[in-house]
């Protein structure tokens, strides 16, 4: 059930909300299986032990460089460049083989036509856009933004959020960010947004609660129980 996650004085996303910014992996889609397969393709070709599907989720949310560092247990730039090449080679052909929307995503997005919506992910821009397109979600969004480290830093930096707000002409107090990571909550707070953590993704509820989101929901459809603007 959706509920306020902090004190009664915390802001409530009510009539002022005009934009919702969604994280991708662990929020809109469950992508861990394709990501794990791509990581394991790299590890196998480098003579390193595979990761299980269960080992992957705690490594997600901080971008591909972090994921590959942890998966390979390497810091040598040349080794990590090879890992990135092998990962990209595989993932570019298999990014949507096993990746699926979480239950309720399409119906819930369709029920919010009165709100502007954006995707903001720490996944590379090309892959973020490709997954949204492949899963048929593109019509629901005004903006789809992935990692572009040459233009702005990854979450928890608020830089990418501020670009989305500026391009869509929405003030921060009129926006809500929804994500499964403490990075999403931290970035949203730093940008002045209301924040909503989802507990069905890749982070335990107790970890998310410590980040102090304004709301926590256990299913995507519970967004509709928040008093979002209807006009």
Active site residues: 23
Q: Report the run of H or E that residue 64 belongs to, with start and end.
A: helix 64-72
208 neighbors 64 (Cβ within 8 angstroms): no
Q: How far apart are CA 172 and CA 18, in angstroms?
A: 10
79 neighbors 72 (Cβ within 8 angstroms): yes
- The dihedral through the CA atoms of 11, 14, 19, 25 has a sign that is positive
- For the chain, the distance separating the N- and C-terminal CA atoms, rounded to the nearest angstrom, is 24
- Give the strands of the sheet with 143-147, arranged side by side: 3-4, 215-217, 194-198, 175-179, 19-22, 116-124, 143-147
Q: How far apart are CA 222 and CA 214, in angstroms?
A: 14
> How crowded is the C-beta side of 191, counted as CA atoms within 13 Å?
29
CA distance readout (Å), 14 to 84, 142, 194, 198, 229? 42, 21, 10, 18, 6
């Amino acid at each position: 059930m959706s509920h306020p996650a902090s004190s009664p004085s915390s802001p409530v996303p009510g009539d002022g909300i005009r934009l919702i910014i969604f994280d991708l992996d662990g929020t809109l889609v469950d992508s861990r299986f394709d990501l794990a397969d791509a990581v394991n393709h790299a590890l196998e070709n480098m003579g390193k032990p595979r990761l299980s599907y269960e080992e992957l989720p705690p490594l997600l949310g901080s971008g591909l460089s972090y994921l590959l560092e942890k998966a390979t247990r390497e810091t040598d730039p040349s080794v990590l460049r090879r890992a990135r090449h092998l990962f990209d080679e595989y993932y570019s052909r298999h990014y949507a083989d096993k990746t699926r929307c979480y239950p309720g995503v399409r119906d819930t997005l369709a029920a919010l036509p009165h709100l502007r919506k954006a995707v903001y992910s720490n996944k590379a821009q090309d892959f973020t856009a490709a997954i949204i397109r492949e899963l048929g979600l593109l019509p629901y969004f005004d903006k789809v933004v992935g990692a572009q480290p040459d233009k702005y830093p990854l979450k928890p930096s608020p830089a990418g959020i501020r670009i989305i707000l500026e391009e869509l002409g929405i003030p921060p107090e009129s926006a809500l960010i929804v994500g499964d990571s403490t990075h999403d909550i931290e970035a949203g707070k730093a940008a002045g947004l209301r924040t909503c953590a989802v507990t069905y993704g890749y982070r335990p509820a107790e970890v998310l609660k410590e980040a102090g989101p304004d709301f926590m929901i256990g299913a995507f459809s519970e967004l509709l129980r928040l008093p979002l603007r209807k006009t």
